[in-house]
Amino acid sequence: MEYFFEILSDNETMNRLCLPSMHAERLGIQDRKQLLLTFGTKSVPVELKSDAISNHSTLRISTSILEQLQLPSFPRYQIRWRESKLIIGPYIGILVSHTHSFLDNHIQILSSFIQNYEQLGGAILAFSLEGVNPNDRLIRGFLYNPYAKRWEKGTYAYPTALFSILEEHFPEHRNDLHSILKHFYGILGKRVFNFPTINKWEMHQWLQQYPLIHGYLPDTLLYNEPKEIHQMLKKHQIVCIRPVHAHPGLCLLKAEKVRNGVAVRYQNKDQSQQVLLRNRKQFFSFFQKHLTPHEYLIQEAIDLPTIKGRNVDFRLSLVKDGKGEWTNLGIFGRYGEKKSMTGTDGYVESGKLTLQKVLALGHEGAVSWNEWMTYLSVQAARAMEEYGSHYGNLGLDLALDKRKRLWLLEINSEKPTTYIAPSAGKEELLQQTRQMSMLYCKRLAGF
């Protein structure tokens, strides 16, 4: 049974915690006179008093202790006895934006994270990169008030566990984000999830070591110079060139050997363009101009199936639940625009329905393929964590080629959100993803 508590500030005592005796006995601390009281990353020694008369859902704490712990009184808390500390929590942080002003203006976008607050309890802090003060270990942000049902602006102590939903669009933002997350990781360790991220080349190299996964990975090289693209074209006829990191500009190229040269199609921001490179000089000049060494992957192009002129691939969303287990929260079929290079720019639908269309299967056959794709995805996710990263949700890009061979194209760890779900008419899956991430973070916080 879960117990939730209201915090009452006690102005008449010093350094005291008054705990209802039934809970002192339940935790096995009824004979203790003193203990360490912990909130977030702070611990303070207190005198313990067991009170048989007190309201069973109330913790009376000396005002001086509340101030030292920077413990807000308005959340509904739980308590845990662990390693000779009485922990009040959970205390969960969500890194949302780069700037405090953006967060201030868009705080209501977080409503789905606290929809199941009755199950979560505790302090939930939303904050920006700008709001973090590493020197004093303080955060300017917004703490959810479950009684007033609003976010309270203020300066708060560091949380016990946290995760980031901030997307990395530009290199300077990536550096700022990694710097702050590395700071938190140094303090909280594995209680920070979706960090540290690894780039797609490191990911590919790591996954290649696993016999179960290796056979599902496309042939891939890290770009250093144009001659490597030429070598891959000799081998595969068509190659895709993808950025190692999320990239705001030139994001994807597709090169194909044709009779009179090399045809290159590429997306530059939102525009799709095409060029024919007729000779060696044009070939080398084009790629030297557009590609930075070590920033792109050269990958064999998968012969994707088409339905009504649209390429088709899949996105599978893995999320950890409150027990820390990976769960397939949804598979989606992605239909590209006609003549698109991928299946990412058109529309989406239920992945099981797409499997039935692509493989000409009935419902049971699609379910069987979904189970195999889930198994492969979970194995890849576990392999990723053996690398040393800690994830709570991942987006895996999968494909079935025209010969019905399964491929693992990419694992999205930098931007694993499931915004694709509402596009498929599955808004509830986005809400469920966020709620499961909160429950997993609660688990990391010790509750």
Query: What pLDDT score was predicted for residue 413?
Result: 78
Q: What is the biggest distance separating any 2 CA atoms in the chain, rounded to whole angstroms?
A: 90
Give every CB contact of residue 173 below 8 A, 6+ residues apart in sequence: 98
* Distance in angstroms (rounded) separating the CA atoms of residues 210 and 382: 11
Query: What pLDDT score was predicted for residue 321?
Result: 93
Domains of the chain: 6-89 (2.40.40.20), 91-193 (3.40.50.20), 200-216+304-416 (3.30.470.20), 220-300 (no CATH)
Inter-helix orientation angle 200-207/363-386, to 10°: 100
Tokens of 116: 């199941």
pLDDT tens digits for range 347-393: 889 999 999 999 988 889 899 999 999 999 999 999 999 998 899 99
pTM across the whole model: 0.89
* Distance in angstroms (rounded) separating the CA atoms of residues 340 and 353: 21
Instruction: Name 152's bridge partners.
Output: 143
Angle of CA points 435, 348, 202, to nearest 5°: 70
Query: What pLDDT score was predicted for residue 249?
Result: 47
**In the chain, which stretches have pLDDT less than 70?**
53-54, 168-172, 246-251, 268-270, 338-345, 414-419
Query: What pLDDT score was predicted for residue 446?
Result: 95
Instruction: Name 348's bridge partners.
Output: 334
pLDDT tens digits for range 105-158: 999 989 999 999 999 999 999 999 999 999 999 999 999 999 999 999 999 999
